[in-house]
């Protein structure tokens, strides 16, 4: 089992460029998440998908869009990148609330994004 | 709005000493999570606390939850260098919407 995988690992963009971060999990989890991590601020939830076919905004959704492509895959898109979006992005998955599980999250290795 | 506060944010300990990290949250939730992150790495789950008075232990780490006080603690016993990492607590809003604390960067010195 690969767990949660993310691509790319590193990316440099110029202001105004667009890109999509890819995430996939092979644990048959229902729920998936996108976070950003900035120094001194912990992790902040951008969007989450409680189950296939649903997506919801988290704490900091502005400037991002997401697609839950199927149960395995959850992508994050930056339509017009800004320097304020320079961060480390983590994808995570969990069994989901209401499944009787602990709902602990399993994290991918992260994508380090720099916007110039 | 759910807020999660951790303290201290930085902790430097001597090996063999004990210390406690605190996690306060602002609104009702029925579960609390603790994660560990090594420098440059991803996060791994340490504990999930589901009910008031819950206590879980793994090696030198023990976590507890007081839902009435909206407080969780992570107690470190006889610290060793391998425990050096950043520790995060997290709370969900009774759905999948998660909020993390800012993290406690722990350094254990010989």
CB contact under 8 A, A90 and B95: no
Q: Which pLDDT value is given to residue A2? A: 84
CA atoms within 13 A on the CB side of A116: 4
Q: Which pLDDT value is given to residue A46? A: 97
Average pLDDT of the residues of chain B: 93
The two tokens of residue B18 are 């004990």
pLDDT surpasses 80 at A100? no
**A52-90: per-residue pLDDT in tens?**
999 999 999 999 999 999 999 999 999 999 999 999 999
Q: Contacts of residue B4 in chain A, CB cutoff 8 Å?
A: 42
CA distance A101 to A2: 21
Classify residue A73 by its DSSP letter: B
**For residues B14-24, average pLDDT:** 96
Q: Is the CB of residue B66 less than 8 Å away from at least one CB of chain A?
A: no
Q: Which pLDDT value is given to residue B97? A: 84
Write down the residue that tokens 């006080």 correspond to: B69
Q: Is the CB of residue A94 less than 8 Å away from at least one CB of chain B?
A: yes
The residue that leads in pLDDT, A104 or B21, is: B21
Measured torsion, CA atoms of residues A23, A29, A33, A36, in degrees rounded to the nearest 10: -60
Residue A7: its H or E element: strand A4-7
């Amino acid at each position: 089992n690969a767990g949660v995988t993310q691509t790319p690992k590193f990316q440099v963009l110029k202001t105004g460029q667009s890109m999509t971060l890819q995430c996939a999990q092979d644990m048959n989890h229902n729920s998936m998440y996108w976070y950003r991590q900035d120094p001194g601020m912990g992790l902040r939830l951008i969007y989450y998908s409680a189950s296939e076919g649903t997506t919801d905004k988290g704490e900091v959704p502005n400037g991002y869009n997401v697609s839950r492509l199927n149960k395995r895959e959850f992508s994050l898109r930056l339509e017009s990148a800004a320097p304020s979006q320079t961060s480390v992005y983590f994808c995570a998955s969990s069994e989901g609330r209401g499944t009787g599980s602990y709902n602990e999250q399993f994290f991918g290795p992260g994508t380090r994004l720099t916007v110039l | 709005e759910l807020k999660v506060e951790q303290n201290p944010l930085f902790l430097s300990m001597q090996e063999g000493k004990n210390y406690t990290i605190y996690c306060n949250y602002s609104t009702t939730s029925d579960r609390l999570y603790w994660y560990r992150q090594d420098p440059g790495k991803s996060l791994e789950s340490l504990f999930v606390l589901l009910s008031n008075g819950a206590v879980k232990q793994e090696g030198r780490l023990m976590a507890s939850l007081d839902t009435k006080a909206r407080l969780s603690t992570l107690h470190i016993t006889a610290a060793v260098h391998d425990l050096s990492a950043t520790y995060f607590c997290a709370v969900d809003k009774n759905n999948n919407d998660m909020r993390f604390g800012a993290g406690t960067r722990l350094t254990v010195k010989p």
